[in-house]
Structure 1
Amino acid sequence: MSAPRRFSLAGKLALALALWSAAWMLLAGWLGQRFAEHGSLLALVLAAALIVATLAFSRRLLRPVLSLFRALSGTVSSYRDNDFSFGIVWRGNDELGDLVAAHNALGAALREQRLGLVQRELLLDTMVQNTPVAMLLVAPGGAIVFANLGARRLLNDGRKLEGHALANVLQSAPEALAEAVARPGDGLFAIRNESGDDADSDDVYHLARKRFSLNGRSHELLLLRQLTSELRRQEVQTWKKVIRVISHELNNSLAPIASLAHSGAELIRREQYQRIEAIFATIEERARHLEGFINGYARFAKLPTPRLELLAWPQFVERLHLHAQFSLEGELPLTPLRADAAQLEQALLNLIKNAHESGSDPSLVQLRVREAPRGFRIEVLDRGHGMSETVLANALVPFYSTKRSGTGLGLALAREIAEAHGGSISLSNRPDGGLSVALTLPW
């Protein structure tokens, strides 16, 4: 089927004006011949009639175009109000038809985008409303402007919170929750579960907050996530690992002790006393190893709060030299350190012991102390075998060890001590071989 014939808008107007002019010229010629004696009056009458007729003809000719412009103006107003349901019909195959087609195509595109946006908004709202994380959006004045279903259930028995003041809502909330919201920053808190009386019935939550600008005003987003089930799963896994490690260590010590005791009894029965002393020495060694293993667990589980005091670096490092072999790299800082001497000494002795067990030459085990921007950086360096990426990722986890006789508590205890002082610990392989363990402690 052939395409409809196209007429340009300029061609239509030119044709209409030409026909109109020709018609008036013919009419003027005919009237001039008919009424020649009234030439002047006839010219005036024709001029007036021409003006009136031309205005009427122009209005009739432009009426569809003006209607089209009004329709375009109306649809643009509808688009501005997010209503894209209107379309325009123009039967002419000209430039105005192209304009209408482009306009309708724009409306269709906006309609599709609007539909997609609405669907995404519905999906996002469904996800936000049904997420297990309680979400609150608070305006600058403290008014709640948004709360999902989790927040409503946690704070208002499932009823709406929008429009309420956060301070008023927290008055009826659990005390631990109100205190966590009042404190700056993120944090953990526990709410007593009314279904139980012991500590295991507490529900643990994590509070995260984020400030951002919305419509030129600062808002705060509060996220409350329940961690009870995750923590309990981790607790069970940790206890299983503890039991496996303790069982392994107990078997490694008690099995040889039982075997040696049986051998000693047999030697006594046969009155062969020359090997009894060696058997008792081995039993003592295994018993002391077991005692050290149990004491290590006890120290890790019962780490007391640090008793901070000012420590002069020369005297502190001199005491370390009495218990471990290492060399000092660089000068010691003049600024004293505020720390618990016994705990910090224990942490560094564990790190130095690990350095000696890494396969490093004992003379290459070094201690380096430097002043950092907000405290001190204490490094224990060795030239041993270093650690693989997997070991580096798990080395600070309690009970993780790659040694046959290791408890997995040395680095974990050092981390606990560092964090109890407000610091941190990090491990990294050295470029030329070996390991660097760094304690960062505040002033």
Structure 2
Amino acid sequence: MVAPRRSIAGHLALICGLGAVLAVTLALWFDRLFDNPWLAGSAALMLTLPLGLLAVRRAVRPALSLFRALAGTALSYRDGDFSFGLRWRHRDELGDLVAAHNELGGVLREQRLSLVQRELLLDTMVQNTPVAMLLVGEGGHVVYANLAARQLLNQGRKLEGLALEALLRIAAPPLREAMDRGGDGLFSVGEGDEEDVYHLARRGFRLNGRPHELLLLRQLTTELRRQEVQTWKKVIRVISHELNNSLAPVASLAHSGAELTRRGQHARLESIFGTIEERARHLEGFIRGYAHFAKLPSPRLEAVQWPAFVERLRSQIDFAVDGELPAEMARLDVAQMEQALLNLLKNAHESGGAAGDVSLRVRRQSGLLRIEVMDRGTGMSPAVLANALVPFYSTKRSGTGLGLALAREIAEAHGGRISLGNRDGGGLAVAMVLPTSEA
């Protein structure tokens, strides 16, 4: 059977009611005894008041103990200890308070346990990652370092509390040079077969109101070698395919020419020799393109007038000019930029759109020079867009995958970049963004 619920006010009312009944009873008894109402009332009050105070004190003593316990558990919560709970046997307002307090403690315990588990998981992941991680404080001392950082910089010993400058003095010189350069970058340690390539990333942020810097050192040797092997395999496949496409017909035509000569049928020899010459020139151009890509020299900048430069392009391939050309001259390597834009314009003509929709736009914006080649072809899928600038990547059966890659190399050699994007309404836009360098 559940005990009836009674509030604190009910308890106090009961005590007051019992005290009043007791006072009246004593007053009546003393009135009969002394036959003096005033004396009887005074005597009854003197006896009833101490008893009432004792009753009230006895009634509130458990509540006072509860309040002290609540203060103690609140201090424990402040210190991060949520293991305490309270008990209250009465079903009243204080019972509701104790129940809410215990429920809050349970929620805080669960949250603390979940937080500890996440911290353990994060620390395990950070400590076991192959990327060396160092957190450096405002004074240049290491605040945190994982196992990879300890192994790389201090033979597995702790780094916390050590000065980063002192660690760099005993580190490999390429690491010191990479740190002195500032920013992100690659550096190599060792020589020959023992050479290791690392990537240094640096990020600054504020922690607890103080500046900190996070250093990440990632070894890329295995990954780069794997990529190098894959690249060489792809190069060999492309070259083998192109050589077979050219040499197999040449061998067949040479055999046919020899047979015709033996039979004295010379009428078709001119056609056979012409085809052999065409395949040989194609192969020569293919090899020249690879050599040019591999040996791209540093740009030799010279003053360029845009109208004259565009007309020179137009003499080699057809396109429309979108908008006005900049009146200011720019400084470019004319031969390299011409080769890059010819490659882009050729791709635009092969995109599947109308030849009249191929256009070139040159404009200056935000201190940069933006050169765009646009078409209304089929555009590119997301997968092709992600790989289009990779050397030797091509979706064309006879493509070498060097046109866009060479354009990117030329743009980056000029201190710029290249980007591709599908146009609204169909087609592709290839943009070369270069720093302005006026004559």
- Report the TM-score, using the length of structure 2 for normalisation: 0.91
Distance 1:289 1:24, change over 3 A: same
In structure 1, C-alpha distance between the alignment counterparts of 2:238 and 2:318, rounded to whole Å: 29
State the match for 2:10 in structure 1: 11
Equivalent in the alignment of 1:220: 213
CA distance in 1, matches of 2:346, 2:368: 25
> Could you say which residue in structure 2 is the equivalent of 1:392?
385
- Tell me the CA shift for residue 442 of structure 1: 0.9
Counterpart pick for 1:125 among 123, 126, 130: 123
**What is the match of residue 76 of structure 2?**
78
Distance 1:410 1:104, change over 3 A: same
Partner of 2:331: 338
Secondary structure of 2:218's aligned partner: strand
Q: 1:99 to 1:363 in 2, by over 3 A?
A: closer
Tell me the equivalent position of 2:168: 170
Matched, 1:208 2:194: no
- 3-state DSSP of counterpart to 1:135: strand
Aligned to 1:100: 98
8 Å CA contact 2:30–2:44 kept in 1: the answer is no
Task: Label 1:226 to 1:17 Cα distance change in 2 as closer, same or farther (>3 A).
Answer: same
Matched-pair identity in %: 67
Q: What is the aligned length?
A: 436
- In the other structure, the counterpart of 1:233 is 226
Q: Structure 2: how far apart are the matches of 1:412 and 1:324?
A: 20
CA drift of 1:272 comes to: 2.5
Contact persistence 2:19–2:48 (CA under 8 A):
no
**1:86–1:392 CA distance, 2 compared to 1 (3 A):** closer
Give the Å deviation of 1:252.
Answer: 0.5
Identify the range of structure 1 (236-245 vs 371-380) with the bigger mean alpha-carbon deviation: 371-380
5 Å matches for 1:5-44?
5-36=4-35, 40=39
Superposed counterparts of 1:353-368, under 5 Å: 353-368=346-361
* Residue of structure 2 in register with 1:145 after alignment: 143
- Separation in 2, partners of 1:379, 1:152: 49
Which is worse superposed, 236-245 or 12-21?
Answer: 12-21
In the superposition, relative to structure 1, how do residues 39 and 403 fare at CA in structure 2: closer, same or farther (>3 Å)? closer
Change (3 A) 1:67 1:330: closer
| Inter-partner Cα distance in structure 2 for 1:88 and 1:354 | 78
* 1:281-292 paired onto structure 2 within 5 Å: 281-292=274-285
Aligned-pair CA distance for 1:359 = 4.7
For structure 1, which segment, 84-93 or 352-361, has the greater mean C-alpha deviation from structure 2 after superposition?
352-361
Question: For residues 151-166 of structure 1, what are the structure 2 equivalents within 5 Å?
Answer: 151-166=149-164
Q: How far, CA to CA, are the matches of 1:113 and 1:164 in structure 2?
A: 34
Q: Report the alpha carbon displacement of residue 69 of structure 1 after superposing the two structures with TM.
A: 0.9
| Residue 180 (structure 1) aligns with | 178
Note the C-alpha offset of 1:273. Answer: 2.5
- Larger mean CA deviation between 428-437 and 127-136 belongs to 428-437
Give the letter aligned to residue 281 of structure 2. Answer: R
CA distance in 1, matches of 2:324, 2:90: 92
Structure 1 residue 389: Cα displacement: 4.1
Deviation of the 1:94 alpha carbon: 2.1
What SS does the corresponding residue of 2:216 show, helix, strand or coil?
strand
The superposition leaves residues 306-333 of structure 1 with CA deviations (integer Å, 9 ceiling, x where unpaired) of 2223322233334334433334343321
Query: What is the CA–CA distance in structure 1 between the aligned matches of 2:351 and 2:22, rounded to whole Å?
Result: 112
> Structure 2: which amino acid aligns with 1:88?
L
TM-fit CA distance, 1:382: 3.6
Instruction: Indicate conservation of the 8 Å contact 2:198/2:221, yes or no.
Output: yes
Aligned partner of residue 218 in structure 1, secondary structure: strand
SS in 1 for 2:328: coil
SS at match of 1:20: helix
Q: 2:57 aligns with which of 36, 39, 59?
A: 59
Between stretches 292-301 and 311-320, larger displacement belongs to 311-320
| Compared CA separation, residues 146 and 55, structure 1 to 2 (3 A) | same
- Tell me by how many angstroms 1:391 deviates: 3.3
Matched letter for residue 5 of structure 1:
P
SS of equivalent to 1:79: helix
TM-score, scaled to structure 1: 0.90
- After alignment, is 427-436 or 221-230 more displaced? 427-436
Higher alpha-carbon deviation: 55-64 or 418-427: 55-64
Indicate conservation of the 8 Å contact 2:373/2:431, yes or no: yes
Q: 2: CA distance between counterparts of 1:383 and 1:50?
A: 104
How far apart in 1 are the matches of 2:378 and 2:34?
124
The separation in 2 between residues aligned to 1:433 and 1:58, in whole angstroms, is: 88
* Conserved 8 A contact 2:142-2:160: yes
Q: Which range moved further: 319-328 or 64-73?
A: 319-328
Take 2:394 and 2:37, find their aligned partners in 1: how far apart are those partners? 125
Distance of 1:39 and 1:4 partners within structure 2: 43
Shift in alpha-carbon separation, 1:73–1:323, aligned structure 2, 3 A: same
Q: Evaluate the alpha carbon distance shift between residue 398 and residue 63 of structure 1 in structure 2; reply closer, same or farther with a 3 A threshold.
A: same
Offset, 1:409: 0.7
1:189 and 2:160 correspond: no
Shift of 1:38: 11
What residue number does 2:296 align with? Answer: 303
Deviates more, 1:148-157 or 1:71-80: 148-157
- Counterpart of 2:268, as a letter, is R
